[in-house]
Amino acid sequence: MSLERAKPPLPDEDKRWKLVNATMRRNGYADHALIETLHSVQDAFGFLDETSLHFVAASLDLPLSKVYGVATFYHLFTLKPKGRHSCVVCTGTACYIKGANALVEGLRERYAINPGETTEDGHLSVLTARCVGACGLAPAVVIDGEVLGRLDTPDLIERLDTLPDPEPTPASHRPPTTSH
């Protein structure tokens, strides 16, 4: 049949969309691929946001309400984190071998949060993903959508500490600082 619908373009140049697209293509863009596709979004990005849900709905030709319904029904899916900034640490095999766990541990010590959580002051959400498509840069992290590679824990923390916050943070809500 020649009634094939044109697929929507990838939302942006982030190559993680190619991983998501590959999952849908492998399933012939059939609607039964929805859960597997949402998994692949989460594996690549660490969470599901509005852009990804719209993209998946359009690609699989499903009502947005259905995609939101599935994304919010299963608690194994994480919706876009609440923090003003997000840091996704890739814990896939290549990154694991290159020390991703030390990064996660360093973030836990510095901000007192586990992956999937947001600091009390709303500055930062930390997440993990299974492969962000940048294995050559292992260990890879994605800070506010920017893929960065080969950072060690002090470098990562310095970057995160200096991310601009739009609103002044009350002193009482700042993350604990290390004393000298």
Binding site for ligand FES (CB under 6 A): 90, 92-95, 131-135, 138, 140
Radius of gyration of the chain (CA): 18
At its nearest, how many Å lie between ligand FES and the CB of residue 61?
Answer: 30
Long-range contact set of residues 51-60: C-beta below 8 Å, sequence gap at least 24: 51/11, 52/11, 52/20, 54/11, 55/8, 55/10, 55/11, 55/17, 55/20, 56/20, 56/24, 58/7, 58/8, 59/7, 59/8, 59/21, 59/24, 59/29, 60/24, 60/29, 60/30, 60/31, 60/33, 60/34
At its nearest, how many Å lie between ligand FES and the CB of residue 140?
Answer: 4
Quick count: other Cβ atoms within 10 Å of Cβ 12? 11
| Closer of 60 and 103 to ligand FES (Cβ) | 103
Q: Provide the edge-to-edge strand list for the sheet that holds 124-129.
A: 117-118, 124-129, 85-90, 140-143, 146-149
| Closer of 62 and 135 to ligand FES (Cβ) | 135
Q: Is the dihedral of CA 9, 11, 15, 18 positive or negative?
A: negative
| Closer of 57 and 131 to ligand FES (Cβ) | 131
At its nearest, how many Å lie between ligand FES and the CB of residue 98?
Answer: 8
| Closer of 67 and 138 to ligand FES (Cβ) | 138
At its nearest, how many Å lie between ligand FES and the CB of residue 149?
Answer: 8
| Closer of 138 and 143 to ligand FES (Cβ) | 138
At its nearest, how many Å lie between ligand FES and the CB of residue 152?
Answer: 16
